[in-house]
Amino acid sequence: MNQLATDLVSLPHVLILGGGFGGLTVARRLAGANARVTLVDQHNHHLFQPLLYQVATASLAAPSIAAPLRHILRRQGNLTVLLETVTGLEPAARQVRCGSTTLDYDYLVIATGATHAYFGHDEWARFAPALKTLDDARLMRRRILLAFEQAEREPDPARRQAWLNFIVVGGGSTGVELAGTLIELARHTLAGEFRRCDPRQAVVRLVEAGPRLLASYDTSLSDKARRQLEQLGVEVHTGVAVSAIDADGVKLGERRLPARTVLWAAGVAASPVGRMLGLPLDRAGRVRVRDDLSVPGHAEVFVIGDLAHLDQPDGAPVPGVAPAAKQMGKHVGDVLRARLRGSGESPPFRYRDDGSLATIGRMAAVAQFGKLKLSGLPAWIAWLLVHIWFLIGFRNRLSVMLDWAWAYWTHQRQARIVGGTDAENHD
Amino acid sequence: MNQLATDLVSLPHVLILGGGFGGLTVARRLAGANARVTLVDQHNHHLFQPLLYQVATASLAAPSIAAPLRHILRRQGNLTVLLETVTGLEPAARQVRCGSTTLDYDYLVIATGATHAYFGHDEWARFAPALKTLDDARLMRRRILLAFEQAEREPDPARRQAWLNFIVVGGGSTGVELAGTLIELARHTLAGEFRRCDPRQAVVRLVEAGPRLLASYDTSLSDKARRQLEQLGVEVHTGVAVSAIDADGVKLGERRLPARTVLWAAGVAASPVGRMLGLPLDRAGRVRVRDDLSVPGHAEVFVIGDLAHLDQPDGAPVPGVAPAAKQMGKHVGDVLRARLRGSGESPPFRYRDDGSLATIGRMAAVAQFGKLKLSGLPAWIAWLLVHIWFLIGFRNRLSVMLDWAWAYWTHQRQARIVGGTDAENHD
């Protein structure tokens, strides 16, 4: 081993689990710090999750919204990336287990995020795919595009319509964005390309158990979002929960809605890594952290992002959104730098709400920045700019801008390619 | 059903199996013809196969080299696309079986192409993936990128080097292009991004059983290609055949070469649909056609592209290359139009060799157009222009040009994203 490597081995070791918004921010914040840093992720890439629904609806190719972690962090000589899946934590021994590999640490940052949840009905997962990883997005895209292919081959009109019926469960921003893009895919992108079925006959329903869509936004924006969706042709159902899902559709209360394609955007659960700590969790499985984001009893272990539960002074928990994860990552990065310098300070973390944006369709969106509320075209432009800005990597920004410009002008979507043979695609 | 559909049903039905270069050309040639046309393919897209190796080496995203068949042919009102897999042919009854669906035809064009072959060693397929479809390319890409990840995690130096050893089997243009891009990926794109392994230590070997690479080119160009590859750092072995492949490497004659990643670019076999005709085949399983490309005994059945075997007047068979498939498609399209007009003419097909191009690496390629031979930078520029020109769809051309320009300037590759979790990726 060369001298550099030997020097590194004697430095404190910061181990970061998860290369999403939170983990990546901590990693970058430790550039040049007097420590050895290891970032562990089960995928080789950082994923820009806010745009995942665009891969799912064939508007963007997967590589446009992801970047290899190793490439993003290549300039940090004190940091390496390992492709591993965490299988156990031993906080007393300061060790993390990844299968047969054991990693020791001096400081641990757990940023493994959230995953899907089906409200205790895991059997629904087969019929209603959710959206958290690139593989999820590709599977969802395949199901959506193949539904139209099945409709084209189906001679019976009732069965054909069932293939053209889509149901999106969950009225948060993911569900709203999926529904809006789906209806546009059917009514514009695919219209005219089929001969036996008519994609414009597609019915897209968005169902939300709560009283309104986009519950975290102001009521007036929830209403605007609903109206914009209905204008596009989406049927919105609020105030009624899904009671069953199977291969033929969903049951909404007592009513049956036939649909061969159901997309799940309704429930989130914390990453299973949270449980491995053996500490108190909230109802969603998130780890209750102290206000400096460390965990009770282990000042050297931090939890950030969607896996962390922290109540702010006003009583509201820090939301599970990308900006919060980034702010927490910055906070922990700074705390670690202070510790490495010998300082014991642990300032409390304060979440700053910089605003929220959700897009509904072509030139339609809602945005809320504190008291400033936007909808329609200004919100849509803000949405575009913010998402382009925060994408990692100039090359990805260029690629996404090109895809969006093209789609805007032509209604075409550039990522409609479905892998797998016909045999695999006929369920 | 509307009047248009009823009219269509009474017209002659042309059934085309396969949406590659051959089948797609026939389909386009029949625009506006007095017939009902159905194009059947087991995938929803037309694939620009010459650039498949670029998806496999993470240089291009899959959607850049493929376009949905339905979208390409959307303006042809008399044509529809069906996503099906052919399971049987009944030429006497003029029927094609696709699982439980039966399709009747008046004219049949079989253009299902070629697939991989392992010279009777199908067991090698597990260890040495080949390159024919987008799924093949994604799998190959995953194996290549994960080999470097495995090298990063491997503490034993000999085992680490085995992960950095790559063997490409087959010295035709696909093998040459794979080897050249692989060495560039290792020595430039990934260099500096790993901490425990050094991608520049990767060894890429290209093995060819015959006496020289690119056997279909002039000898001087074969030599140039070999020299260019060796200059890039590829080890070229000719005149010795692979006798065994397993998880640890290959056996070349008596010699063992350790490599955890072996890529197959050596053998092609005809599509299994050829056998379903029940007619004489050549040794590679291709259908022997008459010189108007129809099959003996069935003047209404045509076979084109890689599945067809036709000896030209000079004795040489029409090669299995994209331009030949397109020329055959044009020929059959014209013959069908004549038949639909009532003419019985069946002119013979004559293949015109417009030239061949193979790229080796950055600014290195060989090209042969009749007596004109190019190598180095002029050949590379010709290669770029020709491939951009023949890509289907302006949008794809734009996207590929952008990716290539970026890669040229930065050595970076934009499609390094690997799906699947770590657990799935550790074989």
Residue A84 contacts B, CB cutoff 8 Å: yes
Handedness of CA A265, A201, A405, B63 (dihedral sign): positive
Q: Which of A45, A85, A421 sits opposite B417 (nearest CB)?
A: A45
Helix (H) or strand (E) segment spanning residue B218: none
CA distance, residue B142 to nearest chain A CA (Å): 10
Q: In chain A, what residues touch B408 (CB-CB under 8 Å)?
A: none
Q: In angstroms, what is the C-alpha Rg of chain A?
A: 23
Q: In chain A, what residues touch B43 (CB-CB under 8 Å)?
A: 418-419, 421-422
Q: What residue in A sits closest to B193 (Cα-Cα)? A: A74
When scoring B193, B273, B396, B402 by the number of chain A Cβ atoms within 10 A, the one with the most, hence best to mutate, is B193
| A positions 184-213 inside 8 Å of B (CB) | 190, 192-196
Per-residue pLDDT of chain A (427 residues; tens, 9 = 90+): 444 455 566 899 999 999 999 999 999 999 999 999 999 999 999 998 888 999 899 888 888 888 899 989 999 999 999 999 999 999 999 999 999 899 999 999 999 999 888 988 999 999 999 999 999 999 999 999 999 999 999 999 999 999 999 999 999 999 999 999 999 999 998 998 999 999 999 999 999 999 999 988 889 999 999 999 999 999 999 999 999 999 999 999 889 999 999 999 998 889 999 999 999 899 889 999 999 999 999 999 999 999 999 999 988 899 988 899 999 999 999 999 999 999 888 899 999 988 888 777 777 788 888 788 888 888 888 888 888 777 766 667 777 777 777 777 777 776 677 665 443 443 3
> What are the helix (H) ranges across A73-187?
134-153, 157-163, 173-184
Q: How far is CA A165 from the centre of its chain?
A: 25
Q: What residue in A sits closest to B423 (Cα-Cα)? A: A85
Query: Which regions of B106-252 does DSSP assign to beta strands (E)?
Result: 107-110, 114-116, 165-169, 203-208, 235-238, 242-246, 249-252
B422/A138 touch (CB, cutoff 8 Å), yes or no: no
pLDDT of residue B343: 87
Q: The whole model's pTM is what?
A: 0.84
* Paired tokens of A384: 């575009």
| Pairs across A and B, CB distance < 8 A | 145
The backbone torsions φ and ψ at residue B155, rounded to the nearest 5 degrees and listed phi first, read -80, -30
A83/B414 touch (CB, cutoff 8 Å), yes or no: no
Cα separation of B268 and B91, whole Å?
26
Residue A397 contacts B, CB cutoff 8 Å: no
CB A14 within 8 A of CB A106: yes
State pLDDT tens for residues B396-409: 777 777 777 777 77
Known catalytic residues of B are 177
| B positions 408-427 inside 8 Å of A (CB) | 412, 414-423, 425-426
Cα separation of B310 and B291, whole Å?
7
Contact residues for A79 (Cβ-Cβ < 8 A; gap 6+): A27, A30, A31, A36, A37, A38, A39, A73, B195
When scoring A417, A418, A424 by the number of chain B Cβ atoms within 10 A, the one with the most, hence best to mutate, is A417
Q: How far is CA A294 from CA A108, A282, A332, A335, in A?
A: 10, 16, 9, 10
A70/B193 touch (CB, cutoff 8 Å), yes or no: yes
A74/B192 touch (CB, cutoff 8 Å), yes or no: yes
pLDDT of residue B422: 42
Q: ipTM, 2 decimals?
A: 0.79
DSSP summary character for residue A85: -
Cα separation of A44 and A84, whole Å?
9
Q: What residue in A sits closest to B36 (Cα-Cα)? A: A195
**Mean predicted confidence (pLDDT) in B156-168:** 96
Give A47's strand partners.
A66
The distance between the two most distant Cα atoms of chain B, rounded to a whole number of Å, is 74
Residue A139 contacts B, CB cutoff 8 Å: no
State pLDDT tens for residues B255-276: 999 999 999 999 888 999 999 9
Residue B401 contacts A, CB cutoff 8 Å: no
State pLDDT tens for residues A240-259: 999 999 999 999 988 999 99
Q: How far is CA A236 from the centre of its chain?
A: 23
CB B118 within 8 A of CB B245: no
> What are the helix (H) ranges across B367-421?
376-390, 394-410
Spot the catalytic one: A84, A152, A154, A177: A177
Q: What residue in B sits closest to A100 (Cα-Cα)? A: B153
CB B39 within 8 A of CB B81: yes
Q: What percent of chain B has pLDDT over 90?
A: 64
B402/A398 touch (CB, cutoff 8 Å), yes or no: yes
Q: Which of B193, B398, B417 sits opposite A63 (nearest CB)?
A: B417
Q: Which of A61, A398, A422 sits opposite B85 (nearest CB)?
A: A422
Q: Which of A68, A99, A134 sits opposite B419 (nearest CB)?
A: A134
* Paired tokens of B239: 């005149």
Residue A165 contacts B, CB cutoff 8 Å: no
Please give the angle made by the CA atoms of B280, B286 and B288, to the nearest 5 degrees. Answer: 50
Q: How far is CA B374 from CA A13, B171, B355, in A?
A: 55, 19, 11
| Strand order across the beta sheet in which B249-252 lies | B242-246, B249-252, B255-258
B134/A68 touch (CB, cutoff 8 Å), yes or no: no
CB B179 within 8 A of CB B206: yes
CA distance, residue B390 to nearest chain A CA (Å): 18
Residue B336 contacts A, CB cutoff 8 Å: no
A83/B145 touch (CB, cutoff 8 Å), yes or no: no
Across chain B, mean pLDDT equals 89
CB A400 within 8 A of CB A384: no
Give B116's strand partners.
B268
